[in-house]
Amino acid sequence: MLTRRTDEGFTLVELLVAVAILAVITVPLANVVIGAFRNTTDTSDRLELSHDAQISSSYFARDVAEVGLRNWAAVNANSVPFKQSVQLGAPYNAAGGTCGSATAVLRLLSDAWDPDVSQTDAATNIVAYYLTPDGRELHRVKCIGPSTTGTDVVLAHNVKPGSVAVTCSSACEADDVPDQISLTFQVTRASVGDYPITLTGQRRQQ
């Protein structure tokens, strides 16, 4: 008895239709996947820049609150006046004392009392904000009392070179210490662009 054999598989037309349908589905799906990866990268970069802003803002507010170097040689009946407590573009060994090893964008000075050393003569605390040689990282180093080395913390990465500026509510480097100090700069990532950061602190001492 003879049996009819049937051809199994797809015809050329069916194969072409299947490929066309697959292309129609794959292209938008690939766009969705690529867009998701891009959004994840953008979000991650924004979070990193925002984290730098929060960390640096916390340090800066506290440092400015403490600023104020008293002029103990000019004590009068009513008070002890201040002397210059803010230094701009100062070398690491400027008049207020040595701290770190780099020229600072901003240095903040304050009295450091140690009763075990002296009850009448305060040492000087120094907080220096400086940029790395390539201008891409903002650091903070604090030297306590007579120590010339201190804890160095990276406050911000990806700083845009040339974007750092310091402003004060009055003359920054005057003996009359300004009540408010601001440090502004921009951080940047290719996926996000320029992200402005403004650090502001209010002096506590009066």
pLDDT tens column, 160-182: 999 999 999 999 999 999 999 99
Residue 78 has pLDDT above 80, yes or no: no
Rounded Cα gap, residues 171 and 168, in angstroms? 6
Q: Report the C-alpha dihedral over residues 50, 136, 185, 180, rounded to 10 degrees.
A: 100
Q: Report the C-alpha dihedral over residues 201, 47, 103, 82, rounded to 10 degrees.
A: 10
pTM confidence score? 0.76
User: What average pLDDT does range 96-116 have in this prediction?
Assistant: 85
Beta-bridge partners for 104? 90
CA 112 to chain centroid:
26
Q: Helix, strand or coil for residue 158?
A: coil
Is the distance from CB of 174 to CB of 84 less than 8 angstroms? yes
